[in-house]
Structure 1
């Protein structure tokens, strides 16, 4: 018997209980039916608890699985977004196929001001000029601020000036778009979200 059928049966027994209360059943019958009702109610409560535990376990497994998949998809998603905006990037001298990862750790804090901070950004070098490219599915204000900080860190780390900074996003928040323009970051996007 499934949980729904059990619940409907308990409701049916509830009608019997009302008859007992109305005085149509004897005291012994009332006690027996109350005990049976309590046992069945407790069984339903235990089933609900078990379902909740099973759901929580499943939820944790799904979260771990999606997190693992997301890490693997990150680079693929970046490549896909770069390809979507290939034409716009090429007009600006950036070849999506030549954009590469630059990742370093500021071990002593001399570059970023924070010891152990990891700087992770995409770079493109063309005609001896260095360009930074940040790829996002949706760019928000904190992404713009972080990218601006990365520019200074990369310049210090490589001892080379950055010639251009590009934020490439499928969607960009209006606030982030405006701030990027203020900071001299060129935004290439599919749409601006108000």
Structure 2
């Protein structure tokens, strides 16, 4: 009987031998499966290591982003403070501008009142000086020199030759025999006054 036949006979007849063979076969399978699991675990460990590296890189990136966000938040806080300061300055400037506008309005009103007063004083002064000068000339010519007679000539300019429209014209006239000289008295004179006197003479 060969080895093979003997082995098969033992498997058929010897239960203890049969269990021993079954045990050996099961152990080999277990060892094979353990090897496969070991390989799978090693692959998983490699993947975990790679993932750990990726996670580490992501952690660094997240930390960098957090620092950037923190820096941006600080900048936002500083900008907010600067904007608030500028707003306060704008409010102060607006108040100052409003106060200046009120001062300018007040000064403008004061200047208008002053100009009106000066104009009124000027008109009174002009009337006063013209009247005083007229009386002085009249006294000089009539009483002292006795050369001319001074008359006040008032007439209605119907054609509007003097002022461009019909109006009453008043002027002083120095009279001597047939000679008549028109005289005008002004505190201040200009070319228009000369032209006016010329038109009166027409």
Q: Which has the higher contact order (CA 8 A, sep 6+)?
A: 1
Relative to its length, the structure with more strand (as a share) is 1
| Normalised TM-score (structure 2) | 0.47
Relative to its length, the structure with more helix (as a share) is 2
